[in-house]
Amino acid sequence: MSEPDHGHPVDPERVAHARARLPGREETAQLTSVLSLMADPTRARVLFALDMVEELCVGDLALALDANEDAVGYALRLLRTAGLVTNRKQGRVVFYRLAEGFPEPLREHCLRQLVVLADAAPDDD
Amino acid sequence: MSEPDHGHPVDPERVAHARARLPGREETAQLTSVLSLMADPTRARVLFALDMVEELCVGDLALALDANEDAVGYALRLLRTAGLVTNRKQGRVVFYRLAEGFPEPLREHCLRQLVVLADAAPDDD
DNA sequence: AGTTTATCCGGACGAACGTACGGGCATGCG
DNA sequence: CGCATGCCCGTACGTTCGTCCGGATAAACT
């Protein structure tokens, strides 16, 4: 079966303990949805770049990432929709930057701290 | 075209600046691959649970998460393959826990800090 | 020994994701 | 005023991911 009735847990205490403190479905969904956005090479690098130079237009962004514009455009679309970046249009050029309300923990922990993880863990397997 | 030759960047300075400091393709791939593992509700909650109670068997884990065993089993398979969790078999029960070399920044920043993000940002949209 | 329990494994299916392409809309320039 | 540029949008396609289902394995209990 997929869902055994499981007459009795093996570790009722721990189950209860975990169950009580575990983030709910919605909170988890929120968290994972924003993590999903960073869990893509193009989007991650877009955010990295914007965190460094504050503002960039789409074409320059593609140049900086050495990616094609379609990919960057799509990445920006999702990030914009999620409210993580904002755009300012000047002439026919559109500049992007990290949104005002960009989650600080995300910027601090994922954009900056976690890079050292990739840098210091060559044997990730 | 998808890849305009872009005679000249708009902001050559910023492009160069970003380009120089940007993490390479491999590092980004590593980072995103581990982030992808957390960017799933089931896997994220599995890690949360294991971070809290140290050790749990598959069945109890399914109970704690209120998910079916198939999902939990699949989640554990991926996490195990990635080396993020280890298992210890006692009788016919298999206990899982976070791996020894579980990336500390990940545990500290994603498992613990980022939850407050989900908790403190009801207007994520 | 046979049966039940706890888990793992592999394949099939459907859904979501990312990419490539074509067209569209504004802006700036000749 | 017409053409080129920079970017956005919608669609179609291929790939990847997660779930569901059946069977297999190993251990404990009778």
DSSP state letters, A88-102: EEETTEEEEEE-TT-
Q: What is the pLDDT of residues B86-124, one digit of tens each?
A: 999 999 999 999 999 888 877 877 777 666 665 555 444
| Residue A25 to chain B, least CA–CA distance (Å) | 8
Q: What is the pLDDT of residues A33-47, one digit of tens each?
A: 999 999 999 999 999
Can you give the pLDDT at residue B120?
Answer: 58
Q: Do A28 and B35 touch (CB under 8 A)?
A: no
Which chain A positions have a beta carbon within 8 Å of B113's beta carbon?
105, 109
| Residue B76 to chain A, least CA–CA distance (Å) | 15
- Tell me the CATH number for domain A40-120: 1.10.10.10
Dist CA A1 CA A18 (whole Å): 24
User: If you measure CA to CA, which chain B residue comes closest to A72?
Assistant: B2
User: If you measure CA to CA, which chain B residue comes closest to A120?
Assistant: B27
Q: Which nucleotides of C are covered by protein (CB under 7 A)?
A: 5-10, 17-22, 26-28
Q: Does B106 touch chain A (CB under 8 A)?
A: yes
Which chain A positions have a beta carbon within 8 Å of B81's beta carbon?
none
Residue A74 scores a pLDDT above 90: yes
Q: Which residue has the tokens 């209860």?
A: A16
Can you give the pLDDT at residue B5?
Answer: 40
Q: Which residue has the higher pLDDT, A124 or A61?
A: A61
Taking alpha carbons only, the member of A57, A64, A62 closest to residue A88 is A57
Domain residues of chain B, as ranges?
A: 12-120
Dist CA B84 CA A66 (whole Å): 31
Q: Do B40 and A32 touch (CB under 8 A)?
A: yes
Amino acid at B85: V
- Describe the crossing of helices A25-38 and B41-53 by its angle, rounded to 10 degrees: 110
| Residue B20 to chain A, least CA–CA distance (Å) | 9
**Residue A88: C-alpha distances to residues A31, A41, A96, B11 (Å):** 27, 24, 6, 15
| Distance, C-alpha A57 to centroid of its chain | 20
The topology under which CATH files domain B12-120 is Arc Repressor Mutant, subunit A (1.10.10)
Q: Which residue has the higher pLDDT, A125 or B105?
A: B105
Mean pLDDT of A93-102: 94
Residue A82 scores a pLDDT above 90: yes
Q: Percent of chain A having pLDDT more than 90?
A: 65
Q: Does B120 touch chain A (CB under 8 A)?
A: no
Q: What is the pLDDT of residues B54-79, one digit of tens each?
A: 999 999 999 999 999 999 999 999 99
Q: Which nucleotide is nearest to B60 (CA to C1')?
A: C6
Taking alpha carbons only, the member of B78, B63, B44, B102 closest to residue A18 is B63
Can you give the pLDDT at residue B112?
Answer: 75
Can you give the pLDDT at residue B3?
Answer: 42
Q: Which nucleotide is nearest to B42 (CA to C1')?
A: D18
- Identify the H or E element spanning B51: helix B41-53
User: Which one of A2-16, A47-61, B12-26 scores highest in mean pLDDT?
Assistant: A47-61
